[in-house]
């Protein structure tokens, strides 16, 4: 049995964070019904690296977090469309939305209205700044929250200035947090019989990802500064190797530091009273960094990795293609290949989840849906007759 088998999720979200949340639930068996606007659907349907998929509204970026779902296209701005959504919410277990705060309430689909109809409903609202507060109604995306939160300001170098992450880390981290919150709320509902409203904020997620830095600032008055690829510990920093490639070291504890010194032929460093105790290296960091930098320039990065990695955390800095080509990536099964018309190979590779489970686990059952392709089946599931379906189509409330 799948963890969320028998759980019906109404997914009113779009772009990345919300859809990734419901994707994780769908991979574990939830019946996720993606409620989309009737003209073009989710914005990411028209985005991606495979240009041939964009005109059909099946962009590969959309595919990354929408497999295992069904799609129905409803015009929520029409009275009949909003009424249909309320009817569906009465029978659903979970609702996930990531509109700006107040939008769902204005449509008659806010938590208070729907929980009155279905007290067991777990209602998850995912937004940039949360559902309340002076900035709650601001429109944002991942990069904007990175800028606002301070995450950008502590990334980069003094010369580069603030840099955003190369990947939309806050979208995916917020989606993961939302999925965890939904799972917790469903567990609580099993005991209490009550649903609840979950308020997931991308800003809060950003702060959570910076927990140690926030602790240093608030509890010790130490403000973060951009430190490029360097760590507070010189032996857990990045160095240029003989071939010009970079090698990242991760010798954070005493055992690892001692092993590093032995393996790189610098026993003198661990015997030096300035560096001998990793807990007291901070005042002498610059001297230790200089010594390690000189040594790391004596061999290519791949040789250092081969020498160190089994004992001391270390890795040659790879690009994404190199990392995915590594045999370990294939072994771990984080990626799956699905049939996908419109590509040169009629197939597409998509990520699943970042864990395995020996009793079951994340599993792909169906390919991402075309816009509104499941409308008739979904409406029948919620008890609407053929005549009622035809009426809703005629009045423009649904696209069938």
pLDDT for 110 beyond 90: yes
Question: Which one, of 173, 156, 152, lies nearest residue 164 by Cα?
Answer: 152
Alpha helices in 229-370 (DSSP H): 254-263, 267-271, 285-296, 301-308, 320-325, 327-332
Query: How many CA atoms within 13 Å lie on the side-chain side of 388?
Result: 12
Q: Which residues contact 218 (CB under 8 A, 6 or more apart)?
A: none
Question: Which one, of 237, 161, 164, 236, lies nearest residue 206 by Cα?
Answer: 164
Q: Given this model, what pLDDT does residue 23 score?
A: 98
Q: Given this model, what pLDDT does residue 182 score?
A: 98
Say if residue 317 is exposed, middle or buried (CB neighbours under 10 Å; 0-12, 13-18, 19+).
Answer: middle
Q: Which residues contact 56 (CB under 8 A, 6 or more apart)?
A: 342, 370
Q: Given this model, what pLDDT does residue 63 score?
A: 97
pLDDT for 360 beyond 90: no
Q: Given this model, what pLDDT does residue 275 score?
A: 98
Determine the 3-state secondary structure of 28 from DSSP.
coil
Q: Which residues contact 72 (CB under 8 A, 6 or more apart)?
A: 33, 34, 35, 36, 372, 374, 375, 378, 379, 398
Cα gap 191→189, rounded to integer Å: 5
Mean pLDDT of 298-327: 95
Cα gap 61→5, rounded to integer Å: 26
Say if residue 62 is exposed, middle or buried (CB neighbours under 10 Å; 0-12, 13-18, 19+).
Answer: buried
Q: Given this model, what pLDDT does residue 158 score?
A: 87
Cα gap 157→201, rounded to integer Å: 28
pLDDT for 331 beyond 90: no
Mean pLDDT of 233-240: 98
Q: Given this model, what pLDDT does residue 332 score?
A: 78
pLDDT for 242 beyond 80: yes
Mean pLDDT of 365-391: 97
Q: Which residue has the higher pLDDT, 159 or 330?
A: 159
Question: Which one, of 7, 251, 34, 43, lies nearest residue 121 by Cα?
Answer: 7
Cα gap 13→6, rounded to integer Å: 21
Contact predicate 68/96, CB 8 Å? no
Q: What percent of the chain has pLDDT over 90?
A: 95
User: For the whole model, what pTM was predicted?
Assistant: 0.95
pLDDT for 396 beyond 80: yes
Mean pLDDT of 265-283: 97
Cα gap 44→282, rounded to integer Å: 46
Mean pLDDT of 244-263: 98
Mean pLDDT of 372-381: 98
pLDDT tens per residue, range 156-168: 998 999 999 999 9
Backbone angles phi, psi at 74, to 5 degrees: -125, 135
pLDDT for 43 beyond 90: yes
pLDDT for 231 beyond 90: yes
Q: Given this model, what pLDDT does residue 330 score?
A: 74
Determine the 3-state secondary structure of 2 from DSSP.
coil
End-to-end CA distance of the chain: 32
Q: Given this model, what pLDDT does residue 329 score?
A: 75
pLDDT tens per residue, range 128-185: 999 999 999 999 999 999 999 999 999 999 899 999 999 999 999 999 999 999 999 9
**Other beta carbons less than 10 A from residue 200's beta carbon:** 25
Tell me what the pLDDT averaged over the chain comes to: 96
**Other beta carbons less than 10 A from residue 229's beta carbon:** 11
Contact predicate 166/317, CB 8 Å? no
333 pLDDT band (50/70/90 cuts)?
Answer: confident
All structural domains of the chain: 8-209+334-399 (3.40.50.10540), 234-325 (3.30.1540.10)
pLDDT for 105 beyond 80: yes
Residues with catalytic function: 231
Q: What percent of the chain has pLDDT over 70?
A: 100
Q: Given this model, what pLDDT does residue 1 score?
A: 82
Look up residue 319 and give its two tokens.
Answer: 């690009």
Query: How many CA atoms within 13 Å lie on the side-chain side of 150?
Result: 14
Contact predicate 257/278, CB 8 Å? yes
Cα gap 240→107, rounded to integer Å: 57
pLDDT for 323 beyond 80: yes
Mean pLDDT of 182-201: 98
DSSP per residue, 284-316:
GHHHHHHHHHHHHTTS-HHHHHHHHTTTS-EEE
Contact predicate 249/236, CB 8 Å? yes
């Amino acid at each position: 049995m799948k963890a969320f088998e028998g759980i019906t999720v109404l997914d009113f979200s779009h772009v990345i964070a919300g859809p990734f949340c419901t994707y994780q639930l769908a991979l574990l068996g939830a019946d996720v019904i993606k409620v989309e606007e009737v003209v073009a659907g989710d914005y990411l349907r028209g985005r991606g690296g495979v240009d041939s998929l964009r005109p059909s509204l099946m962009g590969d970026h959309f595919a990354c977090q929408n497999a295992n779902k069904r799609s129905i296209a409803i015009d929520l701005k029409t009275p009949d469309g909003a009424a249909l959504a309320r009817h569906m919410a009465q029978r659903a277990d979970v609702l996930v939305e990531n509109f700006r705060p107040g939008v769902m309430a204005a449509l008659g689909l806010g938590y208070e209205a729907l929980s009155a109809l279905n007290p067991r409903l777990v209602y998850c609202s995912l937004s940039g700044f949360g559902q309340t507060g002076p900035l709650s109604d601001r429109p944002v995306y991942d990069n904007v929250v990175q800028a606002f939160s301070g995450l950008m300001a502590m990334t980069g170098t003094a010369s580069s200035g603030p840099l955003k992450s190369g990947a939309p880390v806050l979208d995916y981290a917020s989606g993961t947090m939302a999925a965890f919150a939904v799972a917790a709320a469903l567990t609580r509902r099993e005991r209490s019989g009550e649903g609840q409203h979950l308020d997931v904020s991308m800003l809060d997620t950003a702060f959570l990802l910076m927990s140690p830095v926030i602790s240093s600032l608030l509890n010790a008055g130490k403000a973060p500064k951009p430190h490029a690829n360097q760590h507070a510990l010189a032996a857990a920093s990045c160095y240029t190797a003989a071939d010009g490639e970079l090698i990242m070291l991760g010798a954070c504890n005493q055992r690892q530091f001692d092993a590093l010194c032995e393996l790189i032929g610098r026993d003198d460093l661990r015997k030096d009273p300035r560096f001998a105790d990793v807990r007291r290296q901070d005042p002498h960091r610059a001297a230790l960094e200089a010594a390690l930098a000189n040594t790391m320039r004596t061999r290519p990065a791949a040789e250092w990795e081969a020498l160190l990695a089994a004992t001391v955390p270390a890795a040659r800095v790879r690009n994404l293609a190199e990392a995915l080509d590594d045999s370990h990536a294939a072994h771990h099964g984080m990626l799956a290949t699905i049939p996908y018309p419109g590509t040169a190979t009629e197939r597409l590779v998509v990520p699943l989840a970042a864990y395995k489970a020996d009793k079951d686990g994340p599993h792909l059952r169906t390919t991402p849906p075309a816009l509104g392709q499941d409308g008739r089946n979904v409406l029948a599931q919620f008890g609407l007759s053929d005549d009622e379906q035809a009426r809703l189509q005629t009045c423009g409330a649904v696209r069938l």
